[in-house]
């Protein structure tokens, strides 16, 4: 007998720690984020360590002949994904500010990030 | 010899290892995620500027642009395109790729 899971909403957290383009992690994370969104789940995205580089403004990938997927971060709002968190320490270490990002984010401390991770039902690591 | 680095300095130790092995007469070329080592306001760039006193440093411009980092490369680092990459490989007798 199948369990009826319709209407079950879990808190999903996508942890992004890699720079874009050098590896496939950033793009794959986005793909899975969109899948969760299709199932009307409570989705949050976290950017820490090199993951903060994913949302840099002004990415121009013509020269390396790779798809520029950064506009997708701005499109997430249309899928009701509006909780994007950036870890302050990661941003500061790299000399970046929120003005450098292509999308609106909430800046949180390392301790707050740890709390966010702990309070999530499902954590997906990229 | 030519040293290439394609990993982020905050993700792997390839960049630090490269700096520790790059002697006078050689050159360093940062490509792919290696370009993050050349950005203003980062600890890696500070180390790089020290190294640049003896060793020329190049960065692959298409990789800088792809990552939205145009205009953020520290002073003294020379931007090259793919043709320049080939020229560097041809100019130095050997290449060590810090992967």
Q: pLDDT 10s digit of each residue in chain A, 126 long?
A: 555 666 789 999 999 999 999 999 999 999 999 988 889 899 999 999 999 999 999 999 999 999 999 999 999 999 999 999 999 999 999 999 999 999 999 999 999 999 999 999 999 999
DSSP state, residue B77: P
Query: What pLDDT does A78 receive?
Result: 94
Residue A98 touches partner B, C-beta closer than 8 Å: no
Q: β-strand A42-47 against A106-108: which pairing, if any? A: unpaired
Interface test with B, best of A20, A63, A66, A74 (most B CBs within 10 A): A63
Tokens of B37: 């080592």
DSSP state, residue B64: H
Q: Which fold has domain B2-98?
A: Hypothetical Protein Ychn; Chain: A, (3.40.1260)
* Rounded CA separation B40/B77 (Å): 11
| Domain with residues A11-125, CATH architecture | 3-Layer(aba) Sandwich (3.40)
pLDDT tens by residue, B28-45: 999 999 999 999 999 999
Considering only the beta carbons, identify the residue of B61, B62, B68 that sits closest to A58: B68
Each domain of chain B, given as residue ranges in start order, spans 2-98
Cβ contact A113:A85 at 8 Å: yes
Interface pTM, i.e. ipTM: 0.93
Cβ contact B71:B35 at 8 Å: no
B32–A53 CB contact, under 8 Å: no
Each domain of chain A, given as residue ranges in start order, spans 11-125
């Amino acid at each position: 007998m199948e369990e009826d899971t319709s209407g079950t909403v879990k808190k999903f957290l996508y942890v992004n720690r890699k720079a874009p383009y050098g590896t496939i992690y950033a793009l794959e994370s986005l793909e899975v984020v969109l899948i969760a969104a299709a199932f009307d789940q409570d989705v949050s995205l976290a950017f820490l360590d090199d993951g903060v580089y994913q949302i840099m403004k002004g990415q121009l990938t013509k020269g390396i002949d790779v798809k520029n997927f950064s506009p997708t971060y701005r499109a997430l709002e249309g899928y009701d994904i509006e909780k994007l968190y950036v870890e302050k320490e990661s941003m500061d270490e790299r000399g970046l500010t929120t003005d450098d990002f292509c999308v609106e984010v909430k800046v949180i401390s390392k301790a707050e990030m740890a709390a966010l991770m702990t309070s999530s039902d499902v954590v997906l690591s990229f | 010899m030519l040293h290439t680095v394609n990993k982020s300095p905050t993700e792997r130790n390839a960049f630090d290892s490269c700096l520790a092995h790059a002697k006078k007469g050689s050159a360093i070329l940062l490509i792919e995620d290696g370009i993050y080592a050349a950005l203003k306001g980062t600890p890696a760039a500070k180390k790089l500027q020290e190294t640049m006193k003896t060793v020329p440093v190049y960065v692959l411009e298409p990789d800088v642009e792809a990552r939205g980092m145009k205009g953020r490369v520290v002073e003294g680092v020379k931007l090259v395109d793919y043709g320049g990459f080939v020229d560097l490989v041809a100019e130095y007798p050997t290449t060590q790729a810090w992967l």
